[in-house]
Structure 1
Amino acid sequence: MPVGVVLRRTPGVTQWAKYAWKAIAVLPGAAETNWQLLREQDGVSDFHAATLSLELHGSDAESYLHGLSAEVPCVYVVLRDSDATEHSLEVTLVTASPYEAQDYADTGEEIIEKVPMPDGLIAWVRDFALEHHHEERFKKRRRDKTDIGAVEDGIGDARISQLADVYRSPVKAKKERLQ
């Protein structure tokens, strides 16, 4: 589904940042655009920055359900710093999977913005997730029958001649060091 990303630009509060950016909304079914100004008031500007495809995968159904179970279901917008555009940000990805958003957050190179999901998008993601989610049955792991105690490779010290206590330290070596 094509999803438009709305970014808000506010004046920066430090001398090092001219502007502060924040993703404030998504527009399901939006047309293609590139940094279209939607509103400007008192130095605050809202832009329809980009329209990206929100793709859902059946293997991620569990993560979609996890995201929908939050108090406020959200989509995640992945932004990347860019010198190529006049707005210094590039919208890279829109995802409904909190697990995928976490993967991007772990790198530290991208900016991850959490945006509330509109009701129509919630219904679309929920229907998809319920259709593709399959609960995995718990399967208890069983031990294999291999006798791992039959071979004693690497146990103890090779300088100990008897097998009675393979974990003891060599007495002869200790006595020589003490003299």
Structure 2
Amino acid sequence: MTERPAIEVAVIMRRERIEGAMSRWQAWRWVLADVVTNEEGFGTTPRLLYKNENEERWLHPGYKVELFKDDAEGYHMNVTTDHPGWFVLWRMEEEAMVADEPLALPVMVSLSYYDAGRWLDAQETVEQLPAPEPVVAWVKAFVDEHHVVELKRRKRPESFRSLTDRFGNPASISTEKNFGGGGRG
């Protein structure tokens, strides 16, 4: 079995203070800050990188982003947009608390539009960030090798379809008018 092309990344989540009227209901919010190449020195567990009275940045290392041949269309859709990017699915983790609030934990990272679409359809929290040019070039090379453009077949207009009854048998239509319930006799 051949290995799939893959890269290891780390995700940086930012916890930021909310200002204004909205802060009456929620003092903080989490957003995706960055996706970076994973380094051995990052370790394997989330850790606080930076903190002040208005912001915190948390590093979440160890996410493997693999490219799958059967998802070449999803990668193609990403690299052919004006802003190709990372898609990160993240959730609030009730078990891991930060100052009496749950910690935002990335779950998956992808470069496929189809992955992001499935996650959004499942009503998950998904954010996108621009991918750096070397990553875009790597995905584009994969797409160039594995993406097959499917030819679209012209759909025949409905008016040309043959008529069938509810059992699939050919149906006929007559323009003659039938009067009454039976023949004249």
Distance change in 2, residues 1:59/1:171 (3 Å): same
Cα deviation for residue 35 of structure 1 reads 2.2
Question: What is the identity, as a one-letter code, of the residue corresponding to 1:8?
Answer: R
- Separation in 1 of the partners of 2:164 and 2:128? 53
- Separation in 2 of the partners of 1:116 and 1:78? 15
- Separation in 2 of the partners of 1:47 and 1:88? 9
Q: Which has the higher strand share?
A: 2
| Partner residue in 1 for 2:32 | 23
Write out the 4+ residue segments of structure 1 that deviate beyond 4 Å after TM superposition: 138-142, 147-153, 163-168
Deviation digits for residues 50-84 of structure 1 (CA, Å, limit 9, x no counterpart):
43111111111121121112221111000122212
Query: Does the 8 Å CA contact 1:33/1:48 hold for their aligned counterparts?
Result: no
- Residue of 142, 150, 173 corresponding to 1:136: 150
Structure number with greater Rg is: 1
* 1:107 and 2:107 aligned: no
- Residue of 64, 74, 89 corresponding to 1:53: 64
Secondary structure at the aligned position of 1:34 is classed as coil
**CA RMSD in angstroms, aligned pairs only:** 3.4
Q: Give the TM-score, by structure 1 length.
A: 0.72
| Partner residue in 2 for 1:93 | 108
Cα deviation for residue 2 of structure 1 reads 1.1
| Partner residue in 1 for 2:141 | 127
* 1:78 and 2:89 aligned: yes
- Separation in 2 of the partners of 1:98 and 1:152? 39
Distance change in 2, residues 1:35/1:18 (3 Å): farther
- Separation in 2 of the partners of 1:41 and 1:152? 71
The alignment of Structure 1 onto Structure 2 pairs a total of residues equal to: 160
Query: Does the 8 Å CA contact 1:7/1:24 hold for their aligned counterparts?
Result: yes
Structure 2 stretches lacking a partner, 5+ long: 1-6, 157-161
Deviation digits for residues 141-178 of structure 1 (CA, Å, limit 9, x no counterpart):
89xxxx8769897x8xxxxxxx978997x967xxxxxx
Structure 1 stretches lacking a partner, 5+ long: 156-162, 173-179
Question: What is the identity, as a one-letter code, of the residue corresponding to 2:122?
Answer: T
Sequence identity (%): 23
Q: Give the TM-score, by structure 2 length.
A: 0.70
Cα deviation for residue 125 of structure 1 reads 1.3
Secondary structure at the aligned position of 2:46 is classed as strand
- Residue of 40, 45, 69 corresponding to 1:34: 45
Distance change in 2, residues 1:148/1:5 (3 Å): same
